[in-house]
Amino acid sequence: MMTIAPGDSLPDVALTRPDGSPVRPADFAGQKLVLFFYPKDDTPGCTTENLDFSALSADFAKAGTALLGISKDPPKKHEKFIAKHGLTAPLASDPEEGGLSDALGFWTEKSMYGRSYMGMVRSTVLVGADGKVAQVWSPVKVKGHAAEVLEAAKAL
């Protein structure tokens, strides 16, 4: 399992947009990119995080920074999540196995009530226009996080 650090390049793993089309980190070459990884659509913390990034999406665009929210949820579930909450930050589905979150070490074994399961560690990666990782937040606390990432993107 790889863990990502500033100065690293992202693996160019294909993700799937809600409409079924592919998207890769390389598609954003030459611009800054924020990848925010979250556990599950339509849960309280994940909804708040997506709403916060969506509320700031115009500010990220002004800062020359693309956004992409990523979870293991299937594309159709993302479509419903976007429609239900009016999200403007683009979302993508990570493959069940061998996806980008696996490669970065964000998809990992967790434990709750004595039961082990695989789950997403809420994490964010800021990539510079040069394609190199500028900053990594993991694990993430949702409150104020999108604004903090925006300030880091502006400073980059």
Q: Label residue 52 left, alpha or beta by phi (over 0 means left) and psi (-120 to 50 means alpha).
A: alpha
pTM of the model: 0.93
Tokens of 32: 């800054």
The count of other CB atoms within 10 Å of the CB of residue 44 is 8
Domain map (residue ranges) of the chain = 15-155
Alpha carbons 116 and 126: distance in angstroms, whole number: 30
98-120 confidence digits (pLDDT tens)? 899 999 999 988 888 988 988 89
Q: For the structural domain made of 15-155, what CATH number should be given?
A: 3.40.30.10
Which neighbouring-strand residues pair with 92?
A: 70
Catalytic residue numbers? 46
Mean pLDDT in each 10-residue stretch from start to end of the chain (156 residues)?
83 94 95 97 96 98 98 96 97 90 91 88 96 95 97 96
Residue 2: predicted pLDDT: 53
**Rg value, the chain, Cα:** 14
Q: If we measure between CA atoms, which residue out of 82, 80, 77 comes closest to residue 67?
A: 82
